[in-house]
Amino acid sequence: MFYETKKNDHGLEYDPFKALIAPRPIGWVSTTSIKNKVNLAPYSFFNAVSDSPPMVMISSNQRKDTLVNIEETKEFVCSLATYRLREEMNMSSAAVSEGVSEFDLANLKPAQSRIVVPPRIAGSPAALECRLWKVIPLPNSAEDQTASRYSMILGFVVGVFIDDQYLSDGLFDTAKAGLIARMGYMDYCQVTPETIFSLNRPKVSEDGRDASLKPGPWDGKYR
């Protein structure tokens, strides 16, 4: 099948776009308002965009509390969502009234951050403390460049917390952490030891005209 996104004439019950761009990491974002009220919400339009400097992005639908708080305070924290905390993550997505604590709603404990004001989630294996770089309003379409209801939030990662129990031989153990990601529709997936595999990067020849691969798992060398 083929469909034009402008027409959205796929004929399916649900738009398949988000199911195709999957799995997507979940940014479990905590913010604090200028009145010192803490907000927590999961975002599946989330990813790293640079490692030097380390930066992340979040795409926010409408002017939700997360976006408003980040614009006002310039700070946020992204905690990692895990299989063990899947129900709490899901509960924190509820569109409750302003002033309701998603930490309390999901029975989660906050932990003090080191550099920024918003807390991280105490039970999460890792968290990224961030400061805002820029909020970019996204257009309606390629043809209609007026602002849509979406905004992209770009932030610098200024601090990283990692629970030491998830460090193995100097590496962050993603499988042990049990990270989850968003698929399409209401589906999620989990990182497990059985689903992780590694590959060595190709080694390019001296003349740059060929490349070779070392078979087997990663040998621990970046190429």
The answer to whether residue 11 sits within a structural domain is no
The answer to whether residue 204 sits within a structural domain is no
The answer to whether residue 1 sits within a structural domain is no
pLDDT band at 142; cut points 50, 70, 90? confident
| Residue 76, C-beta contacts closer than 8 angstroms, at least 6 positions apart | 29, 30, 31, 58, 66, 69, 70, 116, 118, 130, 132, 153, 155
The answer to whether residue 177 sits within a structural domain is yes
The answer to whether residue 200 sits within a structural domain is no
Q: What is the pLDDT of residue 216?
A: 82
Model pLDDT for residues 184-197, shown as the tens digit of each residue: 999 999 999 999 99
The answer to whether residue 151 sits within a structural domain is yes
The answer to whether residue 43 sits within a structural domain is yes
At residue 70, does pLDDT exceed 90? yes
At residue 183, does pLDDT exceed 80? yes
At residue 223, does pLDDT exceed 80? no
CATH of the domain at 60: 2.30.110.10
Q: What is the pLDDT of residue 147?
A: 78
Q: What one-letter code names the amino acid at 167? A: L
Q: What is the average per-residue pLDDT within 50-55? A: 98
> What secondary structure does DSSP assign to 120-184, as a single string?
EETTSSEEEEEEEEEEEEEES-SS--SEEEEEEEEEEEEEEEE-GGGEETTEE-HHHHTBEEE-S
Q: What domain count does the chain have?
A: 1
Q: Which domain holds residue 152?
A: 17-195
The answer to whether residue 46 sits within a structural domain is yes
